[in-house]
Amino acid sequence: MDLKALKSQAAEGDADAQLELGFCYAHGLGLAIDKQEAAKWWRKAADQGHAAAQYNLGICYDLGLGVAIDKEEAVRWWRKAADEGHAAAQYNLGVFYGLGLGVAIDKEEAAKWWHKAADQGHAVSQRMLGACYGNGIGVALDKFEAAKWRRRAARLGCHAVAPMGISSRLPKEEVRAFEVCKVLATQGDADAQCQLAYCYFSRIGVKRDRVEAAKWWRKAADQGHAEAQCRLGGAFAERLNGVKVDLLEAAKWWRKAADQGYAEAQFKLGDCYRSGRGVAYDLAEAAKWYRKAADQGHADAQFKVADYEKDSALAVKWWLKVVGNGESADKALLALGECYQTGWGVEMDSFEAYAYFREAGLSNSDPWQKIEELRGCLPEEYVAAVEKRMSELHLTHKAGRWAVFHHL
């Protein structure tokens, strides 16, 4: 890095250079660490409307880095960045509206900003938005929307409150997120207790401690928190999760959550009845709970329902639902390919079979023999068109998104 050139560009008013020079001062990159200088250069860029600099300056005011702590000023700068579409700023605004920091508590505003960030693929905002819909906080209660946003967050690896920090360059902010959670959890907030358990379980701002995780999940579960009940059931079902394995306890907690309509718990309870773990073996009960979860959009449950469905046409409809969800889709794509290849539940169609097998082959090696078999009996132009489509889909798969492919 040419610091002399960077300083010159920053002095001439280049906003990007001012942003980078601020980073250099904040993290000691070729310069002595100087938080005041960092804040000074970020302010210069922020005054020019640079969203990332506005976001960073908001962090400075939030934490007192190079400036006096001023939550209202933090909100002011984050709002400027958020209005420019900066997802992390939108997330932080949601947090501050939710906690009443620098602004009056406004759950609707919190949900609004998380929604804006979630729409951009911000995983933590997706997780928070799922919690909002699941509990009717700032939005109308909607379990289906809750499940949808939680699944999107989970696909991006988000299971807990994430840190607020300067463009992810201040790792200590994970600790701050943990501390905020702990304060609320000790005050008896069930959502915070559940999130705090995630922090302990997933090393978010604190050393992993599965005993502590189970303890906080139990506190939230005892208040009737469905997600915590489901997680506590999972802790009892598996080793090394902070409690002694007890399949009866696992089934008990999953039932409590399932009775509240929590889809993952309904699916787990279905598995219990299917295997006779913690409950008496009962395939009819298993099917009942799988169906409840499937009706809420739980992809694994939908696959189970399709697998057990005796009506071939209905099974195809369920597999299509799984593909639409994007989770467990490889198995469903393979199943649909088989249906079109054999004419089970649909009209036999080698073209459709090839398309489904080929999409499944993006991340699964199982269908390649079938693909080669079909390729030899299909028109070359059709195969070429499918291959072109697959190359486009491959890019979206790598980006962590799911692109549904049914027809050319």
CA separation for the pair 222, 216 (Å, rounded): 10
Alpha carbon separation from 336 to 2, 23, 112 (Å, rounded): 57, 51, 38
DSSP state of 164: P
Read off the pLDDT of residues 102-158 as tens digits, 9 standing for 90 and up: 999 999 999 999 999 999 888 778 888 988 887 788 999 876 687 778 767 765 545
> What is residue 361's predicted lDDT score, i.e. its pLDDT?
64
- pLDDT block averages, 10 residues each, the chain of length 408: 87 93 79 88 95 92 89 95 93 89 92 93 84 86 77 58 36 63 83 86 84 94 94 87 88 96 92 95 94 85 84 81 65 80 81 76 60 70 67 38 25
Q: Where are the alpha helices (DSSP H) in 120-246?
A: 123-135, 143-155, 173-186, 190-202, 210-222, 226-237
Q: What is the pLDDT of residue 315?
A: 83
pLDDT at 233 (0 to 100): 94
Q: What is the pLDDT of residue 386?
A: 64
CB atoms closer than 10 angstroms to residue 28: 10
Task: Give the start-to-end residue ranges of the domains of the chain.
Answer: 301-398
83: three-class secondary structure by DSSP:
helix
pLDDT at 407: 23
Look up the pTM and report it: 0.53
